[in-house]
């Protein structure tokens, strides 16, 4: 049985418990996002609409929890990260589609479910970090398997959702056979056994353990802003960051997103919150709080992230990438990537 750990069941803006029946002008959100990110969004939404936001922060097992609560669940809006988790909500049968002209206008088609079952809210790009002395200014994901990098690449576990999604996207682009060749080549280039986090990659490049590595864009913002402390600020500032692309495609992005709960007692308010999160005001807070790329093309990117260069996201539908996640995970094991 899946172990579910509810890190915090905190009502951020309410004084009472969640109601299974709902109360006018309130909305109940279950989210895996950090309180530091979501609290400002909830506060601004309430200030603009008068709708109270009750928030349950869940670290793991979001889909299982809502499924277990069944028709009596008070959940209205479900928010999580990674396309795999968004699709899991749908597969568990705990969502219902929602569509509106505002949502369709805000989110490009490749970043939402075709039937409105989920919507991307923000994007994280999978980037290459490099030793500045290399003078690396451009690179493709294919290049990571080039023998010239033998013994020089650092990356976290191949089974981490960030990398599973990257491998799944590669499968979607070139097929399983060529992806296996690429993954085998990448493994041969590793400087050490995959592990740790993305920020450890920057640390290891600075320490001379490797020359290039793979990390998510928002970590660059978290490091360079100093939010992670002085040491991480140095890591972030002393590595070069390059936006790689697929051959014939753009830069791989994954998403945070949201879905309307199947039994939402406050569905109308949840739809308003979803539209707010995708409004220019909501997208601005996303960019400022967590250095994520906005989904809206007309929303501003945080200056630290904008300085990395213009992002050209891969337009491969996230739903298509999600279809290849299982194959990607199996391929990671097949080539012994983490061994």
Q: Is residue 268 within 8 Å of residue 24, measured between CB atoms?
A: no
H helix runs in 14-160, sequence order: 35-49, 62-69, 83-91, 101-106
Stretch 326-331: mean pLDDT: 98
CATH number of 26-122+254-300: 3.40.190.10
- Tell me the CA distances in angstroms from 255 to 56, 142, 167, 334, one per residue in order: 20, 22, 15, 27
DSSP 111: G
Separation CA 136–CA 126 (nearest Å): 16
Position 271 scores a pLDDT of: 97
CB distance 313 to 125 below 8 Å: yes
pLDDT band of residue 301 (cuts 50, 70, 90) is: very high
Average pLDDT value for residue range 159-167: 96
Query: Could you give the residue range(s) of every CATH 3.40.190.10 domain in the chain?
Result: 26-122+254-300, 124-252+313-335
pLDDT band at 200 (very low <50, low <70, confident <90, very high): very high
Mean pLDDT of the chain: 92
pLDDT category at 314 given cuts 50, 70, 90 is very high
Name the CA radius of gyration of the chain, rounded: 20
pTM of this prediction? 0.89
Would you place residue 12 in the very low, low, confident or very high pLDDT band (cuts 50, 70, 90)?
very low
pLDDT score of 19 more than 70? no
Query: Residue 240 pLDDT > 90, yes or no?
Result: yes
Residue 250 scores a pLDDT above 50: yes
CATH of region 124-252+313-335, choose from 3.10.20.30, 3.40.50.970, 3.40.190.10, 3.10.560.10:
3.40.190.10
Residue 11 has pLDDT above 80, yes or no: no
Distance CA 323, CA 227 (A): 35
pLDDT attached to residue 177: 98
pLDDT of the residue at 280:
94
User: Is residue 219 marked as binding?
Assistant: yes
Please report the pLDDT score of residue 154 as a whole number: 98
Distance separating alpha carbons of residues 42 and 142, to the nearest angstrom: 41
| DSSP state string for 211-277 | SEEEEEHHHHHHHHTTTT-HHHHHHHHHEEEE--B-TTS-B-EEEEEEEEBTT-TTHHHHHHHHHHH
pLDDT of residue 24: 54
Of 329, 337, 24, 41, residue with least CA distance to 164: 329
Residue 10 has pLDDT above 90, yes or no: no
Mean pLDDT over 277-297 rounds to 94
Model confidence at 130: pLDDT above 70: yes
Mean pLDDT to the nearest integer, 91-112? 96
Instruction: Provide mean pLDDT across the span 182-199.
Output: 97
Give yes or no for residue 320 having a pLDDT over 50. yes
Rounded-to-integer distance, Cα 334 and Cα 218, Å? 30
Give the H/E segment covering residue 165. helix 161-174
Q: 203 versus 60: which is more confidently predicted?
A: 203
What pLDDT is recorded for position 34?
Answer: 87
């Amino acid at each position: 049985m899946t172990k579910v750990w509810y890190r915090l069941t905190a009502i951020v803006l309410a004084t009472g418990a969640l109601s299974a029946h709902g109360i006018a002008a309130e909305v109940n959100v279950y989210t895996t996002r950090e309180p530091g990110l979501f609290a400002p969004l909830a506060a601004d939404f309430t200030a603009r609409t008068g709708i109270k936001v009750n928030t349950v922060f869940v670290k793991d097992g979001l889909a299982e929890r809502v499924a277990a609560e069944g028709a009596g669940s008070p959940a209205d809006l479900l928010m999580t990260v990674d396309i795999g988790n968004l699709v899991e909500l749908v597969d568990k049968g705990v969502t219902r589609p929602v569509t509106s002209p505002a949502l369709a206008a805000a989110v490009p088609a490749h970043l939402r479910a075709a039937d409105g079952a989920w919507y991307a809210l923000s994007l994280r790009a999978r980037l290459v970090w490099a030793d500045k002395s290399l003078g690396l200014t451009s690179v493709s994901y294919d290049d990571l398997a080039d023998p010239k990098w033998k013994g020089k690449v650092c990356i976290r576990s191949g089974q981490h959702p960030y990398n599973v999604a990257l491998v799944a996207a590669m499968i979607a682009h070139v097929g399983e056979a060529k992806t296996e060749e690429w993954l085998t080549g990448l493994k041969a280039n590793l400087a050490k056994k995959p592990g740790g986090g993305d920020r450890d990659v920057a640390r290891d490049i600075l320490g001379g353990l490797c020359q290039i590595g793979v990390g998510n864009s928002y970590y660059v913002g978290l490091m360079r802003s100093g939010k992670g402390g002085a040491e991480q600020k140095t890591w972030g500032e002393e590595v070069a960051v390059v936006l790689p692309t697929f051959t014939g495609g753009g830069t791989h992005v994954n998403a945070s997103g949201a879905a309307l709960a199947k039994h939402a007692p406050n569905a109308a308010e949840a739809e308003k919150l979803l539209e707010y999160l995708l409004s220019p005001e909501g997208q601005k807070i996303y960019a400022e709080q967590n250095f994520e790329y906005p989904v809206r093309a007309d929303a501003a990117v945080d200056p630290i992230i904008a300085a990395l260069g213009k992002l050209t996201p891969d337009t491969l539908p996230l739903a298509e990438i999600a279809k290849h996640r299982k194959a990607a995970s199996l391929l990671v094991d097949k080539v012994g990537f983490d061994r």
